[in-house]
Copies of this chain bind each other. A is one copy, B any other.
Amino acid sequence: MNRNYIRINMTFKEKLYEIIFEAETKEGKLFDEVLLLLIILSVITLSLESIDTFHVKFKNIFLILEVFFTVIFTIEYLLRIYCIKKPLKYMTSFFGIIDLLSFLPSYLEIFFPGIHYIISIRVLRLLRIFRILKMYRFSTHAKILYLAIKMSRYKIAVFLFAVLNIVIVIGTIMYMIEGPDNGFDNIPKSIYWAIVTLTTVGYGDISPKTPLGQLIASLLMITGYGIIAVPTGIMTYEINKIQSKELTVEACPACGRDGHDKDAIYCKFCGEKLN
């Protein structure tokens, strides 16, 4: 009746599921660690391959490595489909699509050799890291940050909406003042300039030339410099609230919604008893 006994009676499919999808057993952890390593190595390979001199010199090595990663990720994908109970649900989930995109572009290149750039989409395999990390160490800290962002999402949305309105209006006004002669070719480009300025990035690829344009740009910069305080203030409040233990990071076991008070016994959304 002990845990080991149960495991002996597991089918091969169930064991495979435990190894691939979970991280509680020794084998499951090993699988995750190997996968993590492969993902990181494949992204590094991908990056180095894009450097012209490397691409020419080590063409064959890159080809072999890419075939290796593609085969591994294909096998892994097929195994996942094989051992999961609802394969279709997995295949259409966010991580299912990411898993598919991590090897599919490599096959496409065989049939359409011209699309060299497109296959860089394989970089999306990097996102698979998040599934693996989900089960590990930093997760409490990640949960706190995630919850802080989630809690402040409406206020952040209001802030971003105001920012969007500012950049559209100022962008258009600058298009009128500066015009195509000074690099403000059209309204979308002027809005792009306004975003570059408000966020204090300031490439300098487009910059106002007329005194009036420079005056309005100055106002926009000071606005951008000042209103950064708004999201910061929101986030500080939320992190403080969560950390001060007023809120728990645990989600409701029934409805899955979080943000419950530390002393809450029942879920405030569905009435389910909390852990």
Binding site for B on A (CB under 8 A): 43, 46-48, 50-52, 117-118, 120-121, 123-124, 126-127, 129-130, 138, 141-142, 144-145, 148-149, 154-161, 163, 165, 168-169, 172-173, 175-176, 179-180, 185-189, 191-192, 195-205, 207, 211, 214-215, 217-218, 221-222, 224-226, 228-241, 243
Chain B: which residue is nearest A172 at the CB level? Answer: B123
Task: Say whether A233 contacts B172, CB under 8 Å.
Answer: no
Count identical subunits in the complex.
4
Q: Among B172, B187, B189, B226, which residue has its beta carbon within 8 angstroms of that of A160? A: B226
Chain B: which residue is nearest A242 at the CB level? Answer: B237
Contacts of A159 in B (CB 8 A): 145, 226
Chain B: which residue is nearest A223 at the CB level? Answer: B199
| Min CB–CB distance A33 → chain B (angstroms) | 16
Task: Say whether B203 contacts A200, CB under 8 Å.
Answer: no
**Most chain B beta carbons < 10 A, residue from A52, A117, A161, A199:** A199
Task: Say whether B226 contacts A211, CB under 8 Å.
Answer: no
Tell me the complex Cα distance, A192–B219, Å: 10
Interface SS of chain A: helix, strand, loop or mixed? helix
Q: Among B144, B185, B195, which residue has its beta carbon within 8 angstroms of that of A155? A: B144
Task: Say whether B158 contacts A145, CB under 8 Å.
Answer: yes
Task: Say whether B141 contacts A158, CB under 8 Å.
Answer: yes
Task: Say whether A186 contacts B234, CB under 8 Å.
Answer: no
Task: Say whether B235 contacts A176, CB under 8 Å.
Answer: no
Tell me the complex Cα distance, A186–B117, Å: 11
Contacts of A236 in B (CB 8 A): 229, 232-233, 236-237, 239-240
Task: Taking A47-B187, A51-B186, A191-B218 as given, write out 19 further A-B residue pairs in contact, using a Cβ cutoff of 8 Å, ordered by the A residue number.
Answer: A50-B188, A51-B187, A51-B188, A120-B173, A120-B187, A126-B169, A138-B154, A144-B155, A188-B214, A189-B211, A189-B214, A196-B218, A199-B221, A201-B224, A202-B203, A203-B203, A228-B232, A229-B231, A229-B235
Q: Which 6 pairs show the lowest CB-CB distances between chains A and B? A: A201-B202, A203-B204, A123-B172, A233-B235, A229-B235, A199-B225
A120-B172, A158-B142, A243-B237 as given contacts; A218 in contact with B195, CB under 8 Å: yes
Contacts of A204 in B (CB 8 A): 202-205
Contacts of A229 in B (CB 8 A): 228, 231-232, 234-236
Task: Say whether A175 contacts B126, CB under 8 Å.
Answer: no
Tell me the complex Cα distance, A201–B51, Å: 24
Task: Say whether A117 contacts B176, CB under 8 Å.
Answer: yes
| Min CB–CB distance A116 → chain B (angstroms) | 10
Q: Among B168, B224, B232, which residue has its beta carbon within 8 angstroms of that of A233? A: B232
Task: Say whether A225 contacts B222, CB under 8 Å.
Answer: no
